[in-house]
Amino acid sequence: MKSFEKTNRPPSIDALLKNGIIRQLSDRYGRNEVATTIRGNLDAWRQKYYGGDLSNFSFEKLIKDVKENLEADGRFSLKSVFNLSGIVLHTNLGRALLPPSAISTIVKVASSPTNLEYDLDTGGRGDRDDHIESLICELTGAEAATVVNNNAAALMLTLNSLALGKEVPLSRGELVEIGGSFRIPEIIVRSGCTLREVGSTNRTHLHDYQNAINHQTAVLMKVYTSNYEIRGYVSEVATSDLAHLAQENNLPLVVDLGSGNLINMADYGLPYEPLVIDAIGAGADAVTFSCDKLLGGPQAGIIIGKKPLIQKIKENPMKRALRVDKMTIAGLYEVLLLYKNPDKLRELLPTLRLLTREIEELEELAFTIVDSIGKVLEGFAETSVVNVDSQIGSGSLPLERLPSKAISITTTNDILLRKIASAFRRLPQPVIGRIHDGSLLFDMRTLEDKEGFLSQLGQLDLTEITG
Ligand SMILES: *Cc1c(COP(=O)(O)O)cnc(C)c1O
């Protein structure tokens, strides 16, 4: 390759592809992609050359640029971001963060064969739920459990297993839309069941369910309305009363709890959310809940309940389509294990740690970084530390707010503010804030990597604003 240095004329692609570093890059990114990147870079050199700039072509510079282009952070579109949105469990930002114990166990099972569905005693086939079922039962008081892809899947599988082709009565006050295209009424229909609406939006009574029960009824159902609240002249039937009615009619009661809460949040100074154990205690026969909401685990859904029902659910051929992989089982196991020691939970479970951070800590954090942000935005925006309210997110306790501190960025006009927000989103590790009342807010509740945040501020690209 020395020969290139003697000439000021850019070499051919074929010559470059023989270079050692380029060959390594080809192994990782594929020859075609590497060739395309080289071509792009060579074109720039050639333009210079034929444009009359005959200063020496730099082989080293070209290789360096090609390598940088290929390794640029933006290559894989899924990347780490700073969630400073003020929503701790942000569905669009991937919900819960996993604890280190979960991550290391995930890495372990991902990088070697495992006894995922293999019984080490008999040498025969095993059940992947066996690795986690007894721990779930211990923490929830349930007889049996199974794990699927998410709570939506848990609900579909439960209804499809227990009520296919049959009627499912549900209160008109519980026809929830979770977000995106997930609506309980549609899930019931897509699960192969017929929705039988009972009661009214604000009031549903036990006799409404009683009147709806007929020979076509397969289950009774209750959906926890996690993301909204109806206030005023309202009435709903308690889980225990519904369980009683279900039992009298020899029907199972299915409860969709949404957020699976294994501990009393009030013990940690947070608003109360219904507990999984209480739903079981009230007599629910099957309960479904999410693993990446308040539980703080990986994306998954848990179905717990009476043994024969869970058995039936496990035997549904759809279970295979909805099952979780070994990494999810490993991560979920480690997260659930933390719940056996509630005294340490706040320290070890990222979701709970973020939800319970003290306001003093958040204020101190805000004051240590506000000037650095102010400096990079000097001349464009004013920065200050303000009081804000964080939200739990993922539909949990939508009306409850957690007092927090934020960096507030204000400008003379909205277009400028949006350009600043966009510049923060274009950083190597994008920073996601929220615009509220004419300010761009960076909520400190979810900022843990202060050094990482500060270290990339210098790269904020404001040319769109200045240019
Ligand atoms: C969030 C939620 C779901 C869906 O759970 P995913 O884990 O997001 O699939 C279903 N039902 C209720 C009541 C919920 O709050």
Closest listed residue to residue 82, CA positions, set 467, 466, 457:
457
Residue-level pLDDT at 4: 47
Query: Using 50, 70 and 90 to split pLDDT, how confident is the model at 3?
Result: very low
Quick check: CB of 152 below 6 Å from ligand 1? Answer: yes
CB of 154 closer than 6 angstroms to any ligand 1 atom: no
Q: Which amino acid is at 136?
A: I
Question: Would you identify the CATH topology of the domain 100-346?
Answer: Aspartate Aminotransferase; domain 2 (3.40.640)
Q: Which CATH number fits domain 82-89+355-466: 3.90.1150.180, 3.40.50.300, 3.60.150.10, 3.40.190.100?
A: 3.90.1150.180
State yes or no: pLDDT of 261 exceeds 50: yes
pLDDT at 54 over 80: no
Q: Are 209 and 253 in contact (CB under 8 A)?
A: no
- pLDDT tens-place string over residues 365-394: 999 999 999 999 999 999 999 999 998 887
How far are the Cα atoms of 160, 257, 357 from residue 245, in angstroms, in the given order?
Answer: 22, 19, 43
SS3 state of residue 165: coil
Q: What is the pLDDT of residues 300-330, one digit of tens each?
A: 999 999 999 999 999 999 999 999 999 999 9
Asked which of 6-20, 268-282, 285-299 is least confident by mean pLDDT, the reply is 6-20
Mutate which of 92, 148, 149, 151 to test ligand 1's pocket (most atoms within 8 Å of Cβ)? Answer: 151
Q: What is the pLDDT of residue 1?
A: 44
Burial of 14 (0-12, 13-18, 19+ CB in 10 A): exposed
How many whole angstroms from 182 Cα to the centroid of ligand 1?
Answer: 8
Strands 431-432 and 82-83, how do they pair?
A: parallel
Phi, psi of 71 (to 5 degrees): -90, -5
The pairing of beta strand 301-305 with beta strand 286-290: antiparallel
The residues pairing with 254 across neighbouring beta strands, listed in sequence order, are: 221, 286
Q: Across residues 58-81, what is the average pLDDT? A: 83
pLDDT tens string 397-424? 666 789 999 999 999 999 999 999 999 9
Instruction: Report the Cα–Cα distance between both ends of the chain, in Å, rounded.
Output: 41
pLDDT, residue 20, reads 87
Confidence bin at 174 (pLDDT 50/70/90)? very high
Q: Give residue limits of the domains in the chain.
A: 13-73, 82-89+355-466, 100-346
pLDDT band (50, 70, 90) for residue 2 = very low
Pick from 364, 353, 389: which is nearest to 269 by CA? Answer: 353
CA-proximal residue: ligand 1, atom 3 (nearest):
258
260 lines ligand 1 (CB under 6 A): no
Reference 139, options 261, 258, 224; nearest CA is 261
Q: 149 and 324 in contact (C-beta within 8 Å)?
A: yes
The reported pLDDT for the residue numbered 198 is 97
Quick one: pLDDT at residue 397? 66
Please write the tens of the pLDDT for every residue from 211-255.
Answer: 999 999 999 999 998 778 888 999 999 999 999 999 999 999 999
CA distance 87 to 390: 6
Q: Whose CA is nearest to atom 10 of ligand 1?
A: 258
